[in-house]
Amino acid sequence: MTMHGKKRFSVDDALRLCAGAVNDGPVACATSSYAKGMRQSAVSKLCARALNEAPAFCYKEAPSGLNADAKVDLCASLQAPRFGDELAEGEERYTPAVCMRDFPPAPRLKPAEKARRCRLATEATRPCVYNASLASFGTALSGDQVAQLCAADVDGASLRCAGKVHHQLRMHSGGDGVDEASAVLAACLGADEAVDACVRAVRQDSWSIDDKLRLCARARGTRPAVCVSELARDVHDDELLQFLCAGATAEYTDCLKMAPQELSWKERRSLCSGGDGVIPIECYEEGRRNGLAANTTMALCAGAWSVSAPIKCAVGVKAHKVGKNEVVALCRGTPDETGILACLAEAKNVPTKARICAGARDAGPGVCAADLHYKFRNTYGVMLCKGAADALPSHCASFQQISFKGFYMSAKMIQKCREEPERIAKFMPAKLLHDGEAVYTGQPFGTQIWAYNQYNVRIEGSRSAAGMRGDDSVVAFMSPKDDVKLGGTKRIPFREGEAFFKDLTLDKAGTWEVRFEQRGPSGEDVEQPAKTTIFVQVRPTRYETLVELCAPRLFTFQCLQEPYDGSDHLGLTMSRWDARIAAMYLPCIEFFEDEGVTVVTVPGGDMYFLYHEELLRLFATGLYSSGAGAFHYFTEPWKVLGVEPDATRSELRKVYHELSLVWHPDRWAHGTLYQVRSPSLIPIPIPNPNLNPTPDSRP
């Protein structure tokens, strides 16, 4: 395989190079003059996920004392989105390789050690990396630890914190075996001088410096120490005190003290963590007054921000005969009680109604689920109807492939039916009922038909079924307002009780008018023609616009930053966008959440995205952006599915079906996301909403 006619790659190397690419950056990096003479395998590692030729430039500038593998490790993580900008005269482009030449002459460090310290270096962290080598604790930290500490440093705060904590360790450890480097990193990664103040404020003389550091790690003040002082009279276990007060705030401490005596201290911690002051306690008491079981109330009110919303929802949901765990999944957090109950009422006979109605804002998902269950009684209700506004996804499913072995939908079909459909809408046959009313049902997904009365007032509830009254002599007219290919009035008589609109295609956005007029037996006009007018709107919807805007950005998750570790047993991946980037993508939040990405914005404007790794794989098979705002469907899914180009239809179906089962967001946890005190550093725990919270659940 030849890329841009410059370098020949094997298929395996090319696939490694381009896996996860969001633009042609990996190719630009691999074929640049900076990569000349490098091994193909090294180029694939160096340039994978590159935005441009910056990693190759870094590799070329790296000191000669490093071997090829060390240079790749040093430069592979470099992402320079504005690498092509012109530099001022005498200015040097800062890269990890430049960082290696930027060390003081003493202490002397080996090239490999410098490379480890500079691996994550940027212009902003340049002073931190330099000064860490001069600090008294510089030799105590490994190169990787220095890189981590400085990558999270803001204005030198972490470095100053590390100096003070290291001094405390030297003064008080007394050779008790404390790992100095680990303690410094745990206390000061992303922290500031408040850690030192917190350690000084702890009055427990029997505690070792290691105990105090565990309590004060990433503290933003002395509140953890104050919490220990306030609870020490009631809690006599030092480890439990550290567990209760780590990261404490004044409101959280008040919540712990006001909790009912029937709750253990660990249960109080689980209840109060992440909540708004004493609201979780008030919520718990409200639930017990309403007759809810203690463990159910605990699960509903843990981290609550509303006293009554979870309880009202749970009391209403119990009437719909759902299980205890389903009540928690439906009502935990700040649910929309009205929307959830309306959804459950519509989907009362659907076995998966609790999963479909979780988070519902109106009855739409229930309407869709009931319609789909009545038609097929299949397993696709959650995938198709979760978050639906009405029954249109079910109508779309009616036109999909139905085999003799049963109803089958691939992941691509499901995705297509969840989105707004094609903008080309066709009328389907309209049945003429016995009383002369023409009802238009089963329209293709996306066709919107509204009926207006003689006063030009829209008939509410007529979007999915609109019609007029007449008799067997009714003649239908199609009068387009715009000049479309129909070109004028089209007369279509009713025959044998059915009106067939053949080849009636609206092929552009706009509004057309379908007017029905009555004719007498001999064809003459009736003096009072029917006044009902049906407007057919074929237009891009808000969701289609969001898809065009946001679908390509799913691919940027793993390229903006290294993802955090998610919850292993759920297979989640966590990525973070800082506030500057997040502000640009605010319109995409609804789209991301509909597609199974949990989004949470934390204080400071940073945004976390939690998603299953298979989601990106699924989207790679169905959505692709050309970079110009247009999106279309891939025609070559085998490239990302790992099957041969001549794979049979059944093989492709099998892989799509497996992905569709993994894809749906209900397969993953969507629990309460606790507040984060240090949004750039503390991973957010994801409690499984289908399980009761454990006493060890910690923010």
Domain ranges of the chain: 425-539, 545-667
- Share in percent of the chain as helix, strand, coil (round to 5): 45, 10, 45
For residue 692, the model assigns a pLDDT of 33
Are β-strands 7-8 and 564-565 bridged in parallel, bridged antiparallel, or unpaired?
Answer: unpaired
Question: In terms of Cα–Cα distance, which of 45, 56, 52, 9 is closest to 28?
Answer: 52
Cα→Cα distances 24→47, 95, 289, 616, Å? 11, 21, 61, 18
Collapsed DSSP state (helix, strand, coil) of residue 469: strand
Query: Encoding tokens for residue 75?
Result: 């430069």
486 to 90, 489, 507, 614: CA distances (angstroms): 67, 8, 10, 45
Q: Residue 367: its pLDDT value, please?
A: 86
Closest CA to 195 of 224, 234, 237: 224
Residue 331 burial (C-beta neighbours within 10 Å; 0-12, 13-18, 19+) = buried
**What is the predicted pLDDT for the residue at 307?**
81
Please tell me the distance from the alpha carbon of residue 395 to that of residue 375, in angstroms, as a whole number: 10
Going from the first residue of the chain to its last (699 residues), give the mean pLDDT of each consecutive group of 10, the final group possibly shorter: 51 67 76 79 79 81 76 76 62 72 72 75 73 67 73 68 70 56 65 67 74 70 82 79 77 82 82 78 87 84 81 85 80 78 86 81 85 68 77 69 50 67 35 33 39 44 31 33 34 36 37 45 47 41 52 46 40 58 62 63 62 50 30 41 65 62 40 29 32 34
Least Cα distance to 80 among 16, 138, 32, 14 occurs for: 32
φ, ψ dihedrals at 652, nearest 5°? -65, -40
Omega before 683 within 30 of 0, i.e. cis: no
CA dihedral 242, 245, 246, 248 (to 10 degrees): -170
Alpha-carbon distances, residue 679 vs 16, 17, 53, 190, 443 (angstroms): 32, 32, 31, 9, 48
Using CA atoms, how far apart are residues 138 and 146, in angstroms rounded to an integer? 8
What pLDDT, on the 0 to 100 scale, is given for residue 655?
67
Between the CA atoms of 640, 641, 646 and 651, what dihedral angle is there, to the nearest 10 degrees?
-170
Q: What are phi and psi of 344, to 5 degrees?
A: -65, -35
Please list the residues that pair with 565 across neighbouring strands.
573
Instruction: Say how far apart CA 440 and CA 500 lie, in whole Å.
Output: 11
CB burial of 337-358 (b: ≥16 within 10 Å; e: otherwise) equals bebbbbbbbbbeebebbbbbbb
| Nearest residue to 624 via CA among 436, 357, 446, 415 | 415
Can you give the C-alpha Rg of the chain in angstroms? 32
pLDDT at 35: 79
